[in-house]
Amino acid sequence: MSVVSAIKRDVDLTSYNTFGLAAKAKYFVELTNSNDIGELVSWIRAEQLPWMVIGGGSNLLLLEDFAGLVVLNQLRGIEVSETADSYSIRAAAGEDWHKFVKWTVEQGMPGLENLALIPGTVGASPVQNIGAYGVELADVCSEVEYYSIHSNRTQVISSEDCQFAYRDSIFKSALKDQVIISHVTFKLNKSWQAKCEYGGLKQLEADISAQTIFDEVCKMRISKLPDPQVLGNAGSFFKNPLVSNEQLAKLLCRYPDMPNYSATNGLSKLAAGWLIDQLGLKGYTVGGAAVHQDQALVLVNIANAKAIDLLALCRHIRQQVWQRFDVLLQPEVRFINSIGEVEPTLVLGMPDAGE
Active site residues: 167, 236, 332
From first CA to last CA, the distance across the chain in angstroms is 62
Write out the DSSP string of 198-254. SGGGGGS-SS--HHHHHHHHHHHHHHHS--TTTSEEEEE-BPPPEEEHHHHHHHHHH
Nearest to 149 by CA among 31, 37, 53, 33: 37
Are the C-beta atoms of residues 178 and 170 closer than 8 Å to each other? no
User: What are the CA-CA distances from residue 100 to residues 117, 120, 190, 316 (Å)?
Assistant: 10, 11, 18, 37
User: What are the CA-CA distances from residue 233 to residues 15, 27, 53, 57, 226 (Å)?
Assistant: 12, 25, 19, 10, 8
> What DSSP designation does 191 have?
S
Neighbours of 33 (CB within 10 A): 12
User: How big is the CA angle at 116 (ends 112 and 119), to the nearest 5 degrees?
Assistant: 120
> What DSSP designation does 88 have?
E
Residue 49 neighbours by CB under 8 Å, 6+ apart: 26, 27, 67, 68, 69
Are the C-beta atoms of residues 234 and 333 closer than 8 Å to each other? yes
Rounded CA-CA distance 320/310 in Å is 15
User: What are the CA-CA distances from residue 96 to residues 92, 173, 275 (Å)?
Assistant: 9, 25, 32
Are the C-beta atoms of residues 123 and 132 closer than 8 Å to each other? no
User: What are the CA-CA distances from residue 101 to residues 23, 96, 122 (Å)?
Assistant: 31, 9, 10
Are the C-beta atoms of residues 86 and 190 closer than 8 Å to each other? yes
